[in-house]
Amino acid sequence: MSDLIEGYLGKTVERKKSRVPAKLDYIQSATGLILGLFMWGHMLLVSSILLGEDVMYTVTKLLEASFIIDGGSPILVSIAALVIFIIFITHAAMGMRKLPGSFKQYQVMKAHANNMGHEDTKLWFTQAFTGFAMFFLGSIHLYIIMTNSDAIGPYASSDRIWSEWMWPLYILLLLAVEFHGTIGLYRLAVKWGWFDGDDPKAARAKLKTWKKILTYFFLILGFLTLAAYMKIGMDNAAAGKVGERYQPSAQVIEYKINSGRVA
Ligand code: HEM
């Protein structure tokens, strides 16, 4: 009954407003923080290809827990991707509440933001646009990774990116995720006052500088990484080696020693 009254009047019988929106805001912040920090780690791991194919291979095997399971187990990566997928969808659902529901609402919000001339308010539009794009692009990536976790590695990833046409999607996803992630973490820090100290205004200026540095850093790292995978994928395609799995240098040398070809 009280739900019914609140549904019509927007207030409970005790004349209180629901706490649900505040709780949903909290869930949005918490899932955003997890995803933002996860993406920094993810980009550093994926960029291991820049240090060489052997390094990326080692990182992949470590994430498959090869130190306890002989040869590693890709199912662990599928489980991690599923957990991230659930957090990702929860975060998107919480974000959707804030999107304008009609063109009229959009016009009102736009006019309000322009009228205020407040940079941080305008950032909201970037968040809404990149978030919307990520919902589609990120879902495709996560589903493919979740169902093909045994095909991650220096050659398998490069073939997916080049020969299976993932590179256009990754360009768009990379742009969306880097802007969305750093703006999101900046807005979280401002909203909850994590680094305010004695002078919140000065803290905000510093956070803005960090936002810029981190956006550039991860964008440059991301595009260099993508270029490295594309180059390997192109070379594999030219050599007719698409679908072949990478053999770490140590194993190749061992094989050659055993077959008596290398002393
Ligand atoms: C546990 C979850 C995840 C795993 C295991 C994972 C794994 C990977 C792997 C192995 C690559 C290299 C390319 C490939 O093999 O296809 C990659 C690239 C990429 N991932 Fe993820 N990913 C995860 C979650 C996410 C999420 C949530 C996003 C953003 C919504 C994302 C965005 C990207 C982007 C933009 C690239 C291209 C990076 C570049 O080339 O610079 N990933 N991911």
Per-residue confidence of the chain (263 residues) as pLDDT tens digits?
567 877 887 777 777 778 899 999 999 999 999 999 999 999 999 999 999 999 999 999 999 999 999 999 999 999 999 999 999 999 999 999 999 999 999 999 999 888 988 888 889 999 999 999 999 999 999 999 999 999 999 999 999 999 999 999 999 999 999 999 999 999 999 999 999 989 999 999 999 999 999 999 999 999 999 999 999 999 999 999 999 999 998 776 766 677 765 54
Question: 81 CA distance to ligand 1 centroid (A)?
Answer: 10
Instruction: Report the predicted TM-score, pTM, of the whole model to 2 decimal places.
Output: 0.92
Query: Per-domain residue ranges for the chain?
Result: 20-97+116-258
Distance CA 21, CA 11 (A): 13
The CATH code that applies to domain 20-97+116-258 is 1.20.1300.10
Question: 123 CA distance to ligand 1 centroid (A)?
Answer: 24
Question: 116 CA distance to ligand 1 centroid (A)?
Answer: 37
Q: Which atom of ligand 1 is nearest to the CA of 144?
A: 16
pLDDT of res. 263:
43
Q: Which atom of ligand 1 is nearest to the CA of 229?
A: 40
CA-wise closest residue to 25 among 183, 180, 157, 192: 192
Residue of 82, 134, 145 with the most ligand 1 atoms within 8 Å of its CB, for mutation = 145
φ, ψ of residue 229 in degrees (nearest 5): -65, -40
pLDDT of res. 254:
67
Question: 141 CA distance to ligand 1 centroid (A)?
Answer: 7
